Every structure is written in C-alpha cells, then in structure tokens.
C-alpha cells in the first residue's frame, strides 16, 4: 500500500506546529506585550479624558506611540491617525479622499493585485459614480510605470498602489509612483501593511501622501492600525467615514484603543531598530528554503519577482500537485495556498492569475511567510517535509505521470466541470 504520510524526522529543537504564515498575521513580540500590559489594568484611562491623571497618562502613551510610528516611516507624529486596522485605514483613505476631492475629479487608479480592502472599496465607489482604472501587472507582479502615466487624466484624484503584495511579496516601485503622482498633482496612497517594518518606507523620500499600516503584521496586536495623512506639500484632506466625538483631528471618531496603540508603537520601535538585521536574516532563511526545494524537486517555480521582494516571502508552485492536498500532507506546518480549495470563494488566487499564470499553476501554489521567530532548523524541517510530500503526491498525480511520459497536457481535451 502506498502512503502519503511523511517519514521526515522531527529534530529535537523543532516545536510543532511550525508557524510560517507571517503575512496572514504574526505572533505578538513579548516585548510588545510587556509594554501593553499596564494599559489594560492600572493605566486604563480614556485618552480623551482631559481633566484627570488617568486620561493624561493614556494620552501621553498614545502620543509616544504616534512618535514611534511616525519615526518608522519618516513622518511627523501629527500625521498619524489611529484606526482599527489596515482594512479601516484603506477604506478611510480611499473613501475619505474620494469624498473630499469629488469636485476636482472622480477618477481613481489602482492595480489588480491589491488587497480586497482596496479593490472592494474601489468597486463600491464605482457604484457611486467614480471611475476606477485597475492597472495590470507584468509577469513579475510589478506594474508598468508607463501604464500608470497613460491612465492618468485631468479627472484623476488618487492613485492607490500597495508597497508590498501579501501573497507574492513583490515590492512595487512606490518611490517612482509617488514621484509621478506629485508631478501630475495626484494624491498617492499606499497600502504598506506588508512593507512597513520589513523594508525601508519613507513618506518623504517615497513621495507618499497617505499610507495604511497595521499592528498585527509587525509582531504587534490585532485590531489596531494607523493611517498616515500628509500635512504639508500637499496638505491632504480626508472626509471622516466614522462620525462621533471628533477624535483623531476629526478624521476618525471613537475612543482610542490605548493598549493596542501602545503595542503598535512598541512594535514599530522594535522594527525600526532591528529591520536591517532582520531583513538579512529572513532573506537568508528564505533563500535557503528556496534552494533546498529547487534542488530536490523538478517543475517548481517562484511566483513573482525575486529581485523586488519582501525578505520573508516565498511563493512557489509545485506543478502537478494540488495546493490543498499538499497542505494536508504538511499539516504540522502553517502556510497558505493559492488553490481554489483553500479559498472562501472557491476561486484560485486572483493575484497569481494576474501574473498570467494558468489556473493550474495557481492551484499548485504555496506561500511561505517567514518571520522574526522562525529558525534555520525549522526551515530545514519544512523543506524536507515539503519535498517528501510533493514527491509522494506526484506518485499519485496522473498529470505528473503523463508529463513524464512526454504527453503535452495542453493538447488534451479536458472536460471542464
């Protein structure tokens, strides 16, 4: 009887399950937790309480966090607005700008591999009479700057292009995009959730007007994020989407999540201090994983640019093996797949499809998201396990067998179902 059960030995210093899905979320850094703790219990004040020490203490903590976040992205503290996370930040940026600049124009430019928080927000605005251009990406996942320039017209008010992609980790040329936007007098928003804290992002050098970031992607808490809103050259105005007490300079009402904000600030401070060393460490691990997989397996390929890429991201297709079945075989390792069977919509990843890959390649993809707490022994174990399971599943794959026999799969009349 054949078996798919892995015989790979678990090293003594590997604790299962292994978490390698850091683009989805990341564990809280213990240093962040430590900073947050007092703000749940003894320092529980409302940062908006102006007339007692509990409020002042909370406000002080919030202002420190604002400084820490601003410093990481080259902004000033006053330009940081706290939100519940990057989805809210993206909604506030796009809807808030669309509303505020409606008289100037109704055209927004974004691109096809954005997160749904951007794409669905833009789709909603289309219902309200806005015009949205969704730029394509090249095979490496990057947009073409000429396409962007051609898409701009006198009604264009906003360009929203992500800094780093959540699936394939590719880094868009935000500095050049920002430069072009400023030349044309168009605002530039970037969803920098995956990039901030991982690679250098500077709102001045990169010509960014509005930027979304989130706590839980950078070893901070969930449920807290921020929006950078430029105050000069140009001064960006955003219409509030949540009305209430007028918090956050009127742009986002609601009592501040003080412990979360403290955690986000601390996470940014740590990221700034450790970014260079961590990037070198993670790209080393990532390259090690890639080399191991490529040396032992045929028909594998990396999705998206290797050159312009987050240090911790590896997105690979193991052709002729379906992604969900591979995840099942490596069930002590937490990673993601672009396979339809793993998505809520039962559609293969739209990001991978946008690269021009066939659906079959998208079905075979795995995203490895390496993070601060992954180790080399973990990488070695994961590589061995993936290699073992891919080989076993290929013994089970009629497609792999046919290809080995020299059959051209594209010439077969498949019965789509």
Partner 1 sequence: MAYSDKVIDHYNNPRNVGQLDKSSTEVGTGLVGAPECGDVMRLQIRVNPSTQVIEEAKFKTFGCGSAIASSSLATEWIKGRTVDDALAIKNTDIVKELSLPPVKIHCSVLAEDAIRAAIGDWKKKNGATETAEAAAAAVAQ
> Rule CB under 8 A: which residues touch partner 1?
1-5, 320-322, 324-325, 328-329, 339-342, 346, 348, 358-360, 363, 395-401, 409, 412, 414-417
Cβ–Cβ < 8 Å for 378, 334: no
296 vs 359, beta carbon nearer partner 1: 359
The single-letter DSSP state of residue 234 is: S
**Between helices 258-296 and 376-395, what is the axis angle to 10°?**
50
Show which residues are catalytic.
341
Shortest distance (Å) from residue 313 CB to partner 1: 23
Of 338, 337, 285, 371, residue with least CA distance to 18: 371
Residue number, 220 or 329, with CB nearest to partner 1: 329
> Alpha-carbon distance 306 to 167, whole Å?
13
d(CA 141, CA 308) in angstroms, rounded, equals 9
**What minimum distance in Å lies between the beta carbon of 2 and partner 1?**
5
- Residue tagged 């930027």 (tokens): 211
Contact 335, 346 (CB under 8 A): no
**Cβ contact 109:158 at 8 Å:** yes
DSSP structural state of residue 40: T
Closer to partner 1 by CB, 12 or 415: give it: 415
Percentages (nearest 5) of helix, strand, coil residues in the chain: 40, 15, 45
Q: In angstroms, what is the minimal distance from the CB of 346 to partner 1?
A: 7
Closer residue to partner 1, CB minimum distance, 273 or 396: 396
Shortest spacing between CB 379 and partner 1, in angstroms: 25
Smallest separation, CB 368 to partner 1 (Å): 20
The least distance separating partner 1 from the CB of residue 316, rounded to whole angstroms, comes to 17
Query: What span, in angstroms and rounded, lies between the C-alpha atoms of 245 and 224?
Result: 19
Nearer to partner 1, 13 or 405 (CB): 405
What is the b/e burial string over 14-49, where b = at least 16 CB atoms within 10 angstroms of the residue's CB? Answer: beeebbbbbbebbebbeebbebbeebeeebebebee
**Closer CB to partner 1, residue 276 or residue 298?**
298
Alpha helices, DSSP H only, in 42-143? 53-73, 86-100, 116-127
């Amino acid at each position: 009887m054949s078996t798919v059960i892995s015989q790979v030995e678990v090293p003594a210093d590997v604790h299962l399950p292994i978490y390698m899905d850091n683009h989805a979320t990341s564990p809280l850094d213990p240093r962040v937790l430590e900073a947050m703790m007092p703000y749940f219990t003894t320092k529980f004040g409302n940062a908006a309480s102006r007339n007692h020490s509990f409020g002042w203490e909370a406000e002080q903590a919030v202002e420190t966090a604002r400084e820490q976040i601003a410093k990481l992205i080259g902004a000033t503290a006053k330009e940081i607005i706290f939100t519940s996370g990057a989805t809210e930040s993206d909604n506030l940026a796009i809807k808030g700008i669309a509303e505020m600049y409606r008289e100037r124009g109704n055209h927004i430019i974004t691109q096809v591999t954005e997160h749904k928080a951007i794409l669905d927000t833009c789709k909603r605005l289309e219902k309200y009479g806005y015009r949205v251009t969704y730029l394509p990406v090249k095979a490496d996942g990057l947009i073409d700057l000429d396409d962007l320039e051609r898409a701009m017209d006198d009604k264009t008010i906003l360009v929203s292009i992500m800094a780093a992609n959540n699936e394939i980790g590719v880094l868009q040329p935000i500095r050049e995009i920002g430069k072009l936007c400023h030349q044309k007098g168009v605002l530039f928003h970037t969803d920098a959730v995956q990039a901030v804290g991982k690679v250098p992002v500077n709102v001045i050098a990169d010509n960014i007007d509005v930027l979304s970031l989130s706590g839980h992607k950078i070893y901070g808490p969930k449920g807290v994020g921020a929006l950078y809103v430029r105050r000069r050259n140009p001064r960006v105005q955003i219409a509030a989407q949540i009305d209430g007490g007028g918090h956050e300079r009127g742009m986002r009402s609601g009592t501040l999540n003080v412990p979360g904000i403290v955690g986000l600030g601390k996470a940014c401070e740590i990221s700034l201090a450790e970014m260079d060393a961590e990037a070198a460490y993670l790209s080393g691990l990532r390259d090690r994983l890639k080399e191991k997989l490529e040396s032992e397996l045929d028909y594998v390929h990396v999705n998206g640019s290797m050159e312009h890429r987050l240090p911790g991201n590896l997105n690979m297709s193991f052709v002729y093996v379906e992604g969900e079945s591979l995840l099942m075989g490596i069930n002590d390792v937490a990673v993601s797949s672009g396979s339809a069977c793993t998505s809520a919509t039962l559609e293969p990843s739209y990001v991978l499809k946008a690269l021009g890959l066939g659906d079959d390649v998208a079905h075979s993809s795995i995203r490895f998201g390496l993070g601060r707490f992954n180790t080399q022994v973990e990488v070695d174990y994961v590589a061995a396990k993936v290699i073992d399971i891919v080989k076993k599943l290929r013994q089970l794959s009629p497609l792999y067998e046919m290809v080995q026999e020299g059959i051209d799969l594209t010439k077969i009349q498949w019965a789509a179902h």
